[in-house]
Amino acid sequence: MNAPINSKKPLALEIIDSKIFTLETFLKPLRILQFKEQKIVFTNGCFDIIHRGHIDYLAKASDLGNILIVGINSDASVKLLNKGAARPLQDEHSRAMIMASLHFVSAVIIFDEQTPLSLIDFIKPNVLVKGADYDANETNAQSKKYIVGSDSVKANGGEVKTIEFLDGFSTTAIEQKIKSN
């Protein structure tokens, strides 16, 4: 007969939870990382349904530095992006937990704004990363290819990079496939 599972939170979940921050709770860890001169990489997104394309993108982003920080759009922020009435499909805490469970993600911060600009200005990453549907050299903030925060990252001596997506993998495609079945 199996013994009942201890009601204490499993260590693995404690580790995952310890990687999820607010701006306020991330201040001290951020200062330590900066003091240790860790190369901080930042990216952001909704990450509603994690798929192989996300894993590929995030793994490549993590290779650009020592620390990968991922900004997750809050539920309210996803609504501001007009991704569809049903989005997000998962709540912000679930999305943050899934992201934090990836071994190459060092920290996850949920943000409420439509863009992560204030988060980028707070973190001052060494490398800002987005998908290749953006242009690291675009300077017109009105362009759909413009990477929010790129000006401040470059002004702080950082780099802005894009990563090619894995063909055939997107949350929208998965959502459409589910709806058609």
pTM of the model: 0.90
Percentage of the residues of the chain whose pLDDT score is greater than 70: 96
Distance from chain centroid for Cα 174: 19
Q: How far apart, in whole angstroms, are the C-alpha atoms of residue 140 and residue 147?
A: 9
Looking at residue 169, its pLDDT comes to: 74
Q: In the predicted model, what is the mean pLDDT of the chain?
A: 91
Q: Average pLDDT of 24-37?
A: 96
- In our burial notation (b when 16+ CB lie closer than 10 A, e otherwise), range 85-114 reads eebbbbebeebbbbbbebeebbbbbbbeee
pLDDT at 128 over 90: yes
Phi/psi for 162 (5° steps) reads -120, 155
Tell me the pLDDT tens digit for each residue of 66-101. 999 999 999 999 988 877 777 788 999 999 999 999
Looking at residue 3, its pLDDT comes to: 55
Tell me the pLDDT tens digit for each residue of 151-162. 999 999 999 999
Looking at residue 6, its pLDDT comes to: 61
Give me the residue label for tokens 């701006």: 23
Within 10 angstroms of residue 150's Cβ, the number of other Cβ atoms is: 22
Domains observed in the chain = 12-180 (3.40.50.620)
Q: How far apart, in whole angstroms, are the C-alpha atoms of residue 27 and residue 159?
A: 22
